Structure 1
């Protein structure tokens, strides 16, 4: 795994765990506090939760390296497979800049990623908009073009789509060469709830 890709996957693992923690659908005991980039974060403690997040993101590594991954979504949905909320990480990694280590100060990138995680932890009120005991969730990747290799390993989502354009709530964005990340929430319009 390249340093740039490894950093993005590691960051997304912490960020997605934070989204799931802040959503409050698991007991607090499923998480533990730890340090990442010298800030306090929540990490998955439950083995299945930890494995699902880690495995899902690590399966995307070759697709990140090829520049195919556009967005990663954490979709919260009802038993009827109707999405209630989508937390989307829009990711753009500039792979044309091969001299990444020479041109980018690692400390500057780390500072931006830390700022992103701090903002995420301070956005807790945005996570409590949809609360349900029957809420389920999944990680979904959106690609710029279909991945050509091992199509059999991909599991299509069975989550229904909204009929109307969603309401979008931006949370945080950062743009530091060669990485651009935006986090926003999509909610169904009033007509669909």
Structure 2
């Protein structure tokens, strides 16, 4: 695979306010509002971030405080640390080990590396088909991270937005779902 095969898609406008990104996701998935918590989840984000060794993006943390773990379109799973188990969640190496193998097998001129390498990829969601949705870490901080998609068939692509905006845009059909099926606007809480 050569570097030209790693495409990048850019939204019309990047949503930098976490509440605006969640509002866009709620508009893309009409049933999502019914799953909204009446009080924040109580996730100790500081403990999770200490375990990971990095701060997490504000939009992801707000989504986790506002909603349970979610499955979109019977396809895409977004999980959050269970309250009281943040350290164990942060220290689970399984996804990073798989990702390290994928990065090694990708044979790209500019290698992609898993976190904690500088600018490394950090998983934030998976699909039931074995695809990974990752943050490309680095830059000015976690709220500037963008999304990288690693499909089970070896295709990789970038989306220049945060995780929650990516979900909203993907479900509403804004970007091309390269190597992914169309994600229906249905949701189930876990």
TM-score w.r.t. structure 1 length? 0.29
TM-score w.r.t. structure 2 length? 0.29
Whose strand proportion is higher, 1 or 2? 1
Q: Which structure is larger by alpha-carbon Rg, 1 or 2? A: 1
